[in-house]
Structures are given as C-alpha cells and as structure tokens.
Structure 1
Amino acid sequence: MTDLGGEQPTAPEGERAMRRTRVLLAEDQGMMRGALALLLGLEPDIEVVAQVAAGDQIVPRAWETRPDVALLDIELPGRSGLDAAADLRAQLPECRVLILTTFGRPGYLRRAMEAGACGFLVKDGPVEELAAAIRRVLAGERVIDPALAAAALSAGPSPLTQRECDVLTAAADGATVADVAARVHLSPATVRNYLSSAIGKTQTRNRMEAVRAARQNGWL
C-alpha cells in the first residue's frame, strides 16, 4: 500500500529547471551586441548561446550551438542577415529567425518573409518587447509591426530583377562600368543595359540615385 502521508519523491534538478530558449545573436556593432546579450540574459527563460559580428559566421555557429531562435541584423559584413535567414531555413529549419534591424523598410520586410523569417522588429523597441517576440516566434507565431506590414503591402514588390540588384550593389561604391562588369561577370554592354533599366524603374537620373532609392526602399 502506498504511504500517502510520506514524503513524495522529487524530480531530478534538471527536470525541475525551466528550459531556456537558446538564442543566436548576429549584430556587427559590438556595443549593441553586448548590450542585447546582457539584457536578454536577464530573462529567466532566455539564454544567448552564440554571438557573431558577421553574416558569414551565422550558419557555422548555428550548426555548433543549435539555437532555437536566431536574432539577426540585416546589414552585416560578409553576408546579409536576409541571405543568412534563407540559409538557416534550408539547413536548420527548426531554428526560428527573427530580424532585428535599424531600418524598418517595407522592402526589407518583404524580403525577410520570403527568406523564411518568422518576425521583423526595429531596434527602437523595449527589450521586454524583444523578449516577448522571441517567445512568440518559438511558439510558431509571426511577429511583425502592423504599420510596417501595411506599408509593405502598399509598396508592393521590388520592381528590380535579381541581376539589376546585383549590378546596382556592385556599382554602389562608384565603380566604373568595367569594374562592375568584372565583379558580376558580365560584359560592360550588359552592365550598362542593367543600369539603365534600374535607373528607369527607380525613376532616378543616374546610377547613384538608383542605388540610394533602392536602398531606401529595402530592395538591396
């Protein structure tokens, strides 16, 4: 007969402990990265298991640490956070991606969703909002600022083709047509055609204005 009055066995310490959500943090600014890691570490159910400063470090570190959520900036050296998000979706689909960026551009939001991100936040929100977003994407929800979502819908998709984006990106530092052609492995004549098309689609006067317009809309 079971002794109902006796002391009941307790679960092992590891079973009683709360499972913490494992987070990978990608941010190129060291002070911002350290502050985010510190603040998120104060949450009882969140643990920052990896910090990287470059986009090409995201997937290798994710393989090493197996985070539940990857918190990614967009503009990173080596590889953009959007490209890394697509890589994570293909290689580690169980890892949820949450974009955290300074630039709340409709084009960025659309590209992030296409890359498989589960959420998109700008950096001016409180850390409590960020922690809540991490929990929500882990639970299978999408977390997107309503105003930004509405702006993305009204703006529509990017009018630029991938090749036009490649050429504009290569021309962004003021490179000559010959240099751009070498970078993207196209002939100078083809590069001129792509630049002309991009200038027309962005309704600008020259390639540098086209680059600025494309960046402002989040198309690059």
Structure 2
Amino acid sequence: METASNILREIDTHIVMVTRHARPGVLRRALAAGVKGFVPKSTPSEKLAEVILAVVSGARYVDPEIAASALIGTDCPLTGRELDVLRATTEHDTLAQTAEALHLAPGTVRNYVSAAIAKLGVSGRHEAAQKAWKEGWI
C-alpha cells in the first residue's frame, strides 16, 4: 500500500493492484490508499485487460469474491494501530525491531500487542498475527 500511496502523491493516475494477498484486510488498505482496481494474481489476462480499461475510464473494480469476503467477514475487534503492530510483527523478529520499524517506543508496542492478544484470546503475538491474517484483517 505504501507504494500505491507514494505513486498517487506524485502522479495523478489510477492504480490496479494485482496481488497474491487478495484478502479483505489488504483490500481495505488498498482502497484507503487510493487504489481503483483490486484483483487477485490468478485473474485471467482477458479479465485483467477489461479491468484496466474500466479503471482508466474512471470506474472502480474490486474482484467480486474478495468484495463478498470483505462484506461477510468477521468484524475486526482490533484498532488500526493494533493491526499495524501485528502486521509489523510478521516482518520482524523482536518487539524492539517492530517498535523501530513503526517509530514507536518498545513499551507502546508491547501495550498494543497485549491488547490484541487479550481481544483475540490467544497466547502470544505471533498467534495473534496469524489469527488476524487468517481472518483477513491484515
């Protein structure tokens, strides 16, 4: 999403995101970043061409299966910042690394992780991140 946001800050354009991470949480972040089209990597080339033409014409396109999953998925009990921390947890080995990557104090990260663990009823930060991924929140 960061790349899409950076592009859209610099250039007035439309972005179609083709991803292997076609999950509801990723969709929500992509739309918030300004992406106009969102399709899974498995989209046939003919369909992708149609989506690109539609988006260039000013339409928005979201793969129907992903949209349905996002609509019927479990409501996320976590705050945006808790999700950010869990997302970063999947990319970093320690809380200190996560804190540094998010420009937060380690104690703040620990508090967000503790809150997420309690809300999700799991025993650790990696389990919390896995549950959030499975539910499509991150």
Q: TM-score range by the shorter chain?
A: 0.7 to 0.9
- Match of 1:100, SS state, is strand
Corresponding position of 1:196: 114
1:90 is the counterpart of 2:9? yes
Name whichever structure is richer in helix by fraction: 2
Query: Structure 1 residue 210: deviation in Å?
Result: 1.1
Q: Which runs of 5+ in 1 are unaligned?
A: 1-81
Does the 8 Å CA contact 1:159/1:201 hold for their aligned counterparts?
Answer: yes
What CA deviation, in whole Å up to 9, does each residue of 1:182-206 have, x standing for no partner? Answer: 4444443322211111223334321
Corresponding position of 2:40: 122
The 3 A distance-change label for structure 1 pair 98 and 157 is: farther
Distance 1:190 1:168 in 2: 13
Distance 1:184 1:115 in 2: 18
Does the 8 Å CA contact 2:74/2:135 hold for their aligned counterparts?
Answer: no
What CA deviation, in whole Å up to 9, does each residue of 1:84-138 have, x standing for no partner? Answer: 2222222212x11001112221111121111111111112221111111111110
The 3 A distance-change label for structure 1 pair 199 and 134 is: same
Query: Structure 1 residue 212: deviation in Å?
Result: 1.4
Distance 1:173 1:91 in 2: 27
Query: Structure 1 residue 179: deviation in Å?
Result: 4.2
Query: Structure 1 residue 139: deviation in Å?
Result: 0.8
1:148 is the counterpart of 2:66? yes
Name whichever structure is richer in strand by fraction: 1
Q: TM-score, normalised by structure 2?
A: 0.80
1:163 is the counterpart of 2:66? no
Distance 1:118 1:147 in 2: 16
The 3 A distance-change label for structure 1 pair 195 and 131 is: same
Corresponding position of 1:17: none
Corresponding position of 2:90: 172
Distance 2:94 2:83 in 1: 16
Does the 8 Å CA contact 2:92/2:98 hold for their aligned counterparts?
Answer: no
1:110 is the counterpart of 2:23? no
Give the paired residue count. Answer: 138
RMSD, aligned α-carbons: 2.5
Question: What is the one-letter code of the residue matched to 2:123?
Answer: R
Q: TM-score, normalised by structure 1?
A: 0.54
Distance 1:114 1:89 in 2: 12
Does the 8 Å CA contact 1:86/1:116 hold for their aligned counterparts?
Answer: yes
State which of 185, 197, 210 in structure 1 corresponds to 2:128. 210
